[in-house]
Amino acid sequence: MSGQDSLQEIAFFDEFTRSRDYDSLMPRGYRAIIKAFCECLGPRRSQVRTAVDLGCGTGSFTRRFFQQDGLVGVGVDISFQAVRRAASNNDGIHYFVSDISRTAIKDGSVDLVVFSGVLHHFPDMTACLNEARRILRKGGMFLSYDPHIHNPCMWLYRHPRSPFYSKAGKTANERLLSKQEMQEALHKSGFINIKTLAISGVAISYLESPAARRFLAFYNAFEYLLGLLPVSRSIGSFLICYAEK
């Protein structure tokens, strides 16, 4: 079991996406993540024809990443309202509602599985990673991005031990992830050729906390500058993971 309170996740994202997209990154933030994903895929990027985004939300990342290469794309999310909004974009991607740890996707039918900012919503990722491996063809690839526990700003804003910790816009399931945890979880689920790195330069467009929003311009400037330094690969704000079946 994941230990996730899925009903809380559904309630939170159904309410949040009833009237707006879940779209918290600026365009250059999405570009930074997509660039890191493409670097991880390397020349194997041309081998990807079918892709699934498990935990797609309203499709804000899904369509940006999948459409650039004309992929046959599928987005899956547990929130009906999020999927409804994603589908309303008519972007050529098929979206459907499902628990991402138990989908109806056929065994070995997918070239690439993406988790776009969703794994940190699971106290135990095992079921989700096992599902990803099940639907991947042999040699298929895995990509994910999530907030990184060793980034100073992420820790200050989202770690319960921080004096500046904020629960605004956060479900009880959410937490920050580390390279070591991701490496161990992917290895346990049978993945190979595992790579983990942190990146910065991921600009954020919206925070739920009014107090935090006052510092958003400063944060984005810090993110940009950190992204120019080699140390960002160790303490960057977002953790990028790659693996193969």
Q: What is the pLDDT of residue 3?
A: 65
Low-confidence ranges of the chain (pLDDT < 50): 1
The three-class DSSP label of residue 39 is: helix
For tokens 């309203």, name the residue. 58
| DSSP structural state of residue 59 | S
> Quick one: which of 120, 113, 25 has its CA closest to 71?
113
CATH code at position 86: 3.40.50.150
The three-class DSSP label of residue 153 is: helix
Q: What is the pLDDT of residue 1?
A: 40
As a whole number of angstroms, the distance between CA 17 and CA 32 comes to: 24
Q: In angstroms, how far is the first alpha carbon of the chain from the final one?
A: 22
pLDDT tens, position by position, 195-206: 999 999 999 998
Please give the angle made by the CA atoms of 191, 194 and 198, to the nearest 5 degrees.
135
**How many domains would you assign to the chain?**
1
Say what the pTM is.
0.93
Domain extent, residue 135, equals 6-244
Domain contains 1: no
pLDDT tens, position by position, 156-197: 999 999 999 998 888 888 999 999 999 999 999 999 999 999
For tokens 């925070």, name the residue. 207
Evaluate whether 75 touches 95 at the Cβ level (below 8 Å). yes
Q: What is the pLDDT of residue 58?
A: 94
Domain contains 28: yes
As a whole number of angstroms, the distance between CA 144 and CA 119 comes to: 8
41 by Cβ neighbours in 10 Å (0-12 / 13-18 / 19+) ranks as: middle
5: tokens are 């309170």
For tokens 């990027």, name the residue. 45
